[in-house]
Amino acid sequence: MNDFVFCSPTKFVLGKGAVDKTGAEMAAAGFGKVLLVYGQGSVVRSGVLDRVKASLEAAGVPYVEAGGARPNPEVCWVRDAIAVARENQVEGVLAVGGGSVIDAAKATAFGVPYEGDVWDFFANKQPIGECLPIAAVLTIPAAGSEASASCVISCDAENRKLGASGDVFRPKLAIMDPEVTFTLPAYQTAAGVTDMIAHICERYFSGVGAVPVTDNIATGLVCALMDAAPRVLEQPDDYDARATIMWAGTLAHNDIAGCGRSLNPTARAGGWESHALEHELSAHHPEITHGAGLAVVMPAWMRYVWRTNPERFLDFAADVFGIEPVEEEYCPRDEAVEDAVTAAIDELQAFFRSLGMPATLADFGLTPDDIDPLLETLRASKGEPFGAFQKLTMEDARAIYLSMF
């Protein structure tokens, strides 16, 4: 077990009717006037936003609104929201939505006390010292932003999608009401579950050997997700399965599934290779949903790198799929290991497909000619080589992208 620092201070309020407790919980947590951040209308149409507003009003928590944050939120929106927050002298930020809305709110929260341009935190990795307190009402379980130290923002002018990180902007409060996710479209549900499994796998395949406590939590989360996801696709109002997905999505990304797996005690575990490869896809092709992109990228990455540490993939194969290598007279150890690892990756990809996720880049209408622009921004974003499980050059990245056709 490598040294680690772990602090997930968020207060989680999960349950039926949690949305209506937002105001009381905000008041109890000491929030003053807040910027109420939301997206492009689904929380308006579902009535969730009105319930949140009513509970804020009942609890005497004043708010000003900043709606219209889009999926893959854009830095121009954040700049406008920062201006609104400053004009109205808000003291905190409340996001109502999924990961994109929460990330837009986070960027606003650490952009307000900063004198320069908020994009500095992403493009120039300016360290984040100060931040307004953040709360979130989660309506789309996927990104885990309700508890994570992560924030991802896009800049359309530069065709880039970049992350910032810092414990300082972990939300103080997360309101999690599984009932508001009953109406999530199947595709979005599936993409969310894929993203969660990717968050767990990025940490699991981090270039560090077995860490039993953390590994058992990680595979336990994957198993719970693989059991729950088909049930909600069949029965969208299966409360227990929806709650399982919501809570597993939080734990997939609050770093409990990474403790002791990092090479740097204060940094997130893992090299985040699949996320890096996917971020280029959705930066250049914003119609690609992040989770759907990951469903294509992650198995391809796994097939490319597993030989670097077969034991790690065998642990995953055994604990998630019950697959063990079978040595026989005509099947020596090496082949048995390859068969077991390949079978596990096949199973994972088959699971994503069973949820309606794509399996190739061609499914998104891309061709191999689209790869070069991805590599150009990938090199700028991640440097070369990048990754923790196995160092990847741009030629490796090209080969992985090519294998997705």
Total number of residues that touch a second copy (CB under 8 A): 40
Residue nearer to a second copy on the CB measure, 198 or 245: 245
Residue nearer to a second copy on the CB measure, 213 or 331: 213
Does 227 participate in binding a second copy (rule CB under 8 A)? Answer: yes
Question: What minimum distance in Å lies between the beta carbon of 314 and a second copy?
Answer: 17
Q: Which of 135, 259, 320, 397 binds a second copy (CB under 8 A)?
A: 259
Does 221 participate in binding a second copy (rule CB under 8 A)? Answer: yes
User: Taking the CB of residue 234, how many other CB atoms lie within 10 A of it?
Assistant: 10
Report how far apart, in Å, the C-alpha atoms of 113 and of each of 105, 130, 272 are. Answer: 14, 7, 29
Question: What minimum distance in Å lies between the beta carbon of 55 and a second copy?
Answer: 16
Does 5 participate in binding a second copy (rule CB under 8 A)? Answer: yes
- Tokens 């065709």, located at residue: 159
**Structure letter (DSSP) for residue 69:** P
Q: Residue 92 contacts by C-beta under 8 Å, 6 or more apart in sequence?
A: 31, 32, 33, 34, 35, 109, 132, 133, 134, 135
Residue nearer to a second copy on the CB measure, 118 or 198: 198
Question: What minimum distance in Å lies between the beta carbon of 330 and a second copy?
Answer: 29
Question: What minimum distance in Å lies between the beta carbon of 207 and a second copy?
Answer: 16
Question: What minimum distance in Å lies between the beta carbon of 259 and a second copy?
Answer: 7
Does 267 participate in binding a second copy (rule CB under 8 A)? Answer: no
**Residues 233-252: x where in contact with a second copy by CB under 8 A, - otherwise, as a string:** ------xx--xx--xx--x-
Cβ proximity of 171 and 10 under 8 Å: yes
Listed residue (41, 40, 42, 47) closest to 19, CA to CA? 47
Cβ proximity of 161 and 153 under 8 Å: yes
Cβ proximity of 279 and 150 under 8 Å: no
Please tell me the number of Cα atoms within 13 Å of 192 on its side-chain side.
33
Residues that bind a second copy (CB under 8 A): 1-16, 18, 178, 212-213, 216-217, 219-221, 223-224, 227-228, 239-240, 243-244, 247-248, 251, 256, 259-260, 265
